[in-house]
Amino acid sequence: MTDQNLTGNLAAALTPTGLGSRPSSSTGPAAAPTDGPARVVIDLDLPGPTISRHIYGHFAEHLGRCIYGGFYVGEDSPIPNTRGIRNDVVEALRALRIPNLRWPGGCFADDYHWKDGIGPREDRPRMVNSHWGDIVEDNSFGTHEFMDLVELLGTEAYVNGNVGSGTVAEMSEWIEYLTRADDSPMASLRRQNGREEPWQVPFFGIGNEPWGCGGTMRAEDYAALARQYATYVRDHADNRVTRIAAGASDDDYEWTEALMRAAKNLEHPGGEAGPYQAISMHYYTMYGPWQDKGSATEFTEEEWYRTLSRAARAEELVARHATVMDHFDPHKKIGLVVDEWGTWWNVEPGTNPGFLYQQNTVRDALVAAIHFDGFHRHADRLLMANIAQTVNVLQAMVLTDPDSGALVLTPTYHVFAMNAGHKDARALAAHVLLPEEVQEVDGRLLPMVSASASLRPEDSTALVSLSNLSADAPRTLVLDLRGREVLGHEATVLTGASTAAHNTPEQPDAVAPAPLTDVRAHARGLELRLPPHSVATVSLQLGN
């Protein structure tokens, strides 16, 4: 088959019919049958590709109370802050060691003109945030404030440029303003605005959702623009940019094919891909249709399982987009970035429908755990992922009360914390074997156990992540650990009184990590008992 007749045929080959209606281990979580006890088999001496720490990335858009009232309260706020940035939010996220933060959008990015957000705040022009609540944005949080936040967090910047309503020159000048050190026009303008030294910006997005809010473009039209705009996002001084082309929604494999076809220098292992080095995709987990996505806190057992099945679909989509990329890029020069993922529920009653504020329950924690297990299995292609979003929007890490100012850590926050040991570790295959027949939910097989593992050879440690997807049944599970001696272990579990349990200012620890004490030695390694609807991690100290 030649490239000239791939369009349509390659995308068709990636439909569920083309790849088979039953998912394999490469398209979603899988379990093999066994006559013995339920177990997870891990070969501790067979490390795979490195799991990029950037898979644990975050997203902050000018949307609802994510920036204003979330990250930023202003210097005159009674809430303790540093140059207007909330101290408690920074402290919570520094504890997670978040690897990167994407900003200013999202849909907002393609309405945002960066020069409106620099200089004295009283002189900055206002704009209409037409996508999120149709409110007036005063641009008091702009480039300098964001980069200040990045430095306070100790993280890396993922800046998303404006293709939909911006210009090539505007994008080119922004990266110059951010990263150039000499007396160029934009570097001089930055100094006039109070910043002498340039910043490091390792990631730059070439627009957002151009198939929708970013311009309602066709794939081939955007691919041409992506080549043009990315060319002008230049590397200044020692700053090296990974340029990320805005990719597909869900299963639009033809969009990925168009971007891969437009990329350059993919045929040979040496040299860098151009003009962009990564492409993105977006996928959200929800129970109902867009018009009625379901409640964050009130759901049936059927909705529980269907939600987890739809979360598992994320890995299927990653695998199939990666298959398209493999055809054009066998040397894996271009990374895949899932820079918007997470649950999307109806907003909490009484809140602005354009602000996307939702609660965060044990169900959201399981969704996050399933995503990470899948992401780990595709570490060879997956460069980055960004949960949507970090504060007060969709599947947030932290929620801030608009009245009291109190901060709450969500169950999803705790999943990120428990999985931190996977960052930059080597992926290990984790084979799930279950004695029962795997359930079919929402058209796909859903094992009631999800698992992944990783190894740090430098300090002889491994981390195993396990989830019991059953809404009401505990699970006894054997960790069948092979290839290395296990000298010690430490286990942690996250669950709640119900599948809908969540944290509030009044009950901030209703869902919080606790030691998993029901762990014992087993002839194959370890045996443990997981509560229903729970996420667990087991840290292993290994011998030679």
Same structural domain for residues 323 and 175?
yes
Residues 129 and 236 both lie in one domain: yes
Answer yes or no: is pLDDT of 22 > 90. Answer: no
- Show contacts of 115-119: CB within 8 Å, 24+ apart: 115/170, 116/142, 117/141, 117/142, 117/143, 117/145, 118/142, 118/143, 118/144, 118/177, 118/189, 118/193, 119/193
Kindly state whether residues 146 and 219 are assigned to the same domain. Answer: yes
Catalytic one among 137, 176, 254, 340? 340
What's the pTM value of the predicted model, to 2 decimals?
Answer: 0.94
In the chain, the number of structural domains is 2
CATH number at residue 169: 3.20.20.80
288 pLDDT band, cuts 50/70/90, is confident
pLDDT computed for residue 423 by the predictor: 98
Residue 432 and residue 414 in one domain:
no
Q: Are residues 195 and 289 in the same domain?
A: yes
Residue-wise pLDDT for 365-410, tens only, equals 999 999 999 999 999 999 999 999 999 999 999 999 998 889 999 9
Other Cβ atoms closer than 10 A to 201: 22
pLDDT at 9 over 70: no
Which pLDDT does position 269 carry in this prediction?
A: 84
The verdict on whether 156 is a catalytic residue reads no
Does the structure show a pLDDT above 50 at 519? yes
Are both 110 and 161 inside the same structural domain? Answer: yes
Query: End of a domain among 370, 397, 423?
Result: 423
Quick: pLDDT tens for 230-268.
999 999 999 999 999 999 999 999 999 999 999 998 988
Average pLDDT, the chain: 94
Is residue 28's pLDDT more than 80? no
In this prediction, residue 211 carries a pLDDT of 97
- Using the 3D structure, point to which of 401, 423, 445 is the last residue of a domain: 423
Return the structure tokens found at 542.
């290994």
The Cα 281–Cα 10 span in angstroms is: 18
The reported pLDDT for the residue numbered 153 is 98
Q: Are residues 369 and 247 in the same domain?
A: yes
| Tens of pLDDT, residues 319-373 | 999 999 999 999 999 999 999 999 999 999 999 999 999 999 999 999 999 999 9
Residue 348 annotated as catalytic:
no
Residues 134 and 24 in one domain: no
- The pLDDT tens digits of the residues spanning 68-104 come to 999 999 999 999 999 999 999 999 999 999 999 999 9
- Same domain? For 469 and 398 the reply is no
Show Cβ contacts of residue 15 under 8 Å, excluding neighbours closer than 6 positions: none
15 plus 158 within the same structural domain: no
Checking if the pLDDT of 14 tops 70, the result is no
Same domain, 15 and 145: no
CATH number at residue 438: 2.60.40.1180
Name the DSSP letter for residue 519: E
Structural domain span for residue 228: 53-423
Instruction: Using pLDDT thresholds of 50, 70 and 90, give the confidence band for residue 481.
Output: very high
The pLDDT of residue 20: 33
Q: Return the percentage of the chain with pLDDT > 90, whole number.
A: 89
Q: Which of 61, 173, 209, 315 is catalytic?
A: 209
Is the pLDDT at 452 greater than 90? The verdict is: yes
**Domain-terminating residue out of 388, 423, 458:** 423
